[in-house]
Amino acid sequence: MEMVKIFDTTLRDGEQSPGASMTIEEKVKVAKQLEKLRVDIIEAGFAAASPGDFEAIYNIAKEVRDSTICSLARAVEKDIKKAADAIAPAKLKRIHTFIATSPIHMKYKLRMSPDEVIKKAVRAVEYAKTFVDDIEFSCEDAGRSEMSFLKEIIDAVIKAGAKTINIPDTVGYRFPHEMGAMIKELVEYFPKDITFSVHCHNDLGLATANSLYSVLNGARQVECTINGLGERAGNAALEEIVMAIKVRRDLFDGIDTRINTREIYPTSRLVASVTGIEPQPNKAIVGRNAFAHESGIHQDGVLKHKETYEIMSAEDIGLDVKDTIVLGKHSGRHALKKKLEALGFSNLSEEELNRVFERFKKLADKKKEIYDEDILAIMNEESDKTPKVYELISLQLSDCSDGMPSAAAKIKFEDKVYTDAAIGEGTIDAVFKVIDRISGINGRLMDYKVEAVSEGKDALAKVMVKVIFDENKPAVMGHGLSIDTMLASAKAYINALNNYLHMKDLLSKKISYKDSI
C-alpha cells in the first residue's frame, strides 16, 4: 500500500480565512484533535507572524506526539530561526519555507530576478537544514509558474537538502487535468525519494479535484484544511480528499491515507465551533445536510437498503446515524418510525404510530424542519394518559387593539361540542375565561410559563400552567403544545382541567393521584 501524507494547514492557511482567528488554547485543542484524526503533519502556524502564533506552535509542539509539527517561514533567516525555535519541543518536526516562483510574483511582489530567487531559496533551505532534517520547500504560485523555472529551482533546493517539494496552486487557477500533468512531469523528472506535495486553493471550486488529480499523477502529500477553510475561497477540504480516496478505492488502487475517518465529523464540529465559521449546509461530507435524506422516496430507499442513495456511511465519518434522519413534510411513516426508534420509542403499536404520524404531518405542514425536540414533545403529550374529558376543537381570538380582548372556543365534552365567548383583561385571560364558561369550573391561574421547544421562528411553543380549580384541593399542572402560543395556552389550561377532574375522580375512589399516573 502506498501512503499519501495528509498535511493539515487549518491552523495556518485555515486561520487566514477572514474572521477565523483562534486563541492559543483553541489552537492547541484543535491540534490535539488533528493528532487523533491521525494527520501526518500539522502546520501549526507561521512562527514569525506574531508572538501569539509563535506561542501556539510552541505549545502544540510540546503537546502533540504522533503528528509532525511544522511551522511556515518565508525564505529569510529571521523567519526560519523563529520557526526552528517554535517547533523545538516537538518529537517530529519540520520547517516549511517558501518563495514565489511565478513571473508575476517575482517581478511585482519580490522585485527579484529568477536567479536571485533561486539563490535565496537555496540559502533558506541550507539554513533551515542546520536546525532540522525534515525541510519542505514551496514554490509559491507554482500554478502560474513556468515549468523550466520550476525544474531549475526545485533541482537547486533538493541539492540544498529539501525532502518535500510543494506545488501550490496559490490562486486556484489550474484545472484538474493541468494540475495532474504538471505533477506527473515533475515526479518523473526528479529522484523517487523526493515527495511531491500539492496545495490547492478553491477560487474556481476545483481545489479538491485538483488535489485528487495530483495524487493520481504521483503526488504523495496533500495540503488541506478542515471544512476547506483558508485564504479567500479556501483550501482543499481534508474530509473531501480523504473520503474520495476511501470511497473510490477502484481509482486510487493501492493508495491510502492513515486518517481515522471516524474522527472527521468531531474535528469538523470542533473547528466550526472555535472559528465560528459553519460549513454551508450542503457542504460535502461534513455539511448539516450531507447525509440527510428529506424526501420520502429517498428516506424509504435508504432505510430499506442504504446504498440506494448513499455512497458512504455516516458512521464512517463519525456521525451519529440518528442525526441523519431529517424529518420534514416529505417524510413518510417509515422514516418517522426509524426516528422514533433512534429516540428510544421502539415499541409503539400500529395505532400509536398512526396517531403520532398524523400529528407529525400536521406539524410538518406548518413547520419547515421537524427537530428531535419536536418529536420528543409530541411523544411527551402522547404519554399523558389522563382521560380527555374536555377537548379543544377550535379557538378564535379577536383583535385586541381596541382594548377588549376576547376569545371564542369550541370545546367537546361527552360527545357534544359547546361554543362560547368571553372578554378578558388580556388575550390569555380571555382564553382561560371562555374555557371556564364552557366547563362551568373556574380556575385560578398560579403560574404560566412558555418556552420554545426547538430552534427558529417557527418553533413549537410549549406552555405550562399551574391552576387551582378548587380552593380545598392542590393546584394542578397542565401542558400544551402548538406552533401558536395562544393555542398552546388553551390546550395547557384544558389539560390542567382534565388533570383536576381525574384527580377528583381518583380521590373520590380513594386512589392516590400520584399512583395513577
Smallest gap, in angstroms, from Cβ of residue 270 to Zn ion?
22
Q: Any residues with CB less than 8 A from the CB of 194 and at least 6 apart, and which?
A: 158, 163, 164, 165
Smallest gap, in angstroms, from Cβ of residue 38 to ligand KIV?
22
Smallest gap, in angstroms, from Cβ of residue 103 to ligand KIV?
16
E runs forming strands in 183-297? 195-200, 221-224, 255-256
Smallest gap, in angstroms, from Cβ of residue 357 to ligand KIV?
52
Burial of residue 504 (number of CB atoms within 10 Å: 0-12, 13-18, 19+): middle
Closest to ligand KIV by CB, 35 or 79: 79
Q: Report what 140 binds from Zn ion, ligand KIV, none; CB cut-off 5-8 Å by kind.
A: ligand KIV
Residue 439 backbone class (left: φ over 0; alpha: ψ -120 to 50; beta: rest): alpha
Smallest gap, in angstroms, from Cβ of residue 200 to Zn ion?
9
Cα four-point dihedral sign 187, 142, 254, 92: positive
Smallest gap, in angstroms, from Cβ of residue 169 to Zn ion?
9
Closest to ligand KIV by CB, 81 or 199: 199
Closest to ligand KIV by CB, 170 or 489: 170
Closest to Zn ion by CB, 271 or 326: 271
Query: Among 231, 198, 225, 214, which Cα is nearest to 42's?
Result: 225
Which CB contacts under 8 angstroms, 24+ apart, belong to 451-459? 453/371, 453/373, 453/374, 453/377, 453/481, 454/371, 454/373, 454/374, 455/371, 456/368, 456/369, 458/366, 458/367, 458/368, 458/483, 459/483
Looking at beta carbons, which residue is closest to Zn ion? Answer: 13
Closest to ligand KIV by CB, 43 or 239: 43
Type of residue at 192? K
Closest to ligand KIV by CB, 71 or 170: 170
Closest to ligand KIV by CB, 11 or 422: 11
DSSP-derived secondary structure for 42-70? EEEE-TTT-HHHHHHHHHHHHH--SSEEE
Residue 382 backbone class (left: φ over 0; alpha: ψ -120 to 50; beta: rest): alpha
Query: Among 256, 196, 206, which Cα is nearest to 236's?
Result: 206
Give me the residues that bind ligand KIV (CB under 6 A), please. Answer: 13, 98, 138, 140, 166, 168, 170, 199, 201
Give me the residues that bind Zn ion (CB under 5 A), please. Answer: 13
Closest to Zn ion by CB, 13 or 134: 13
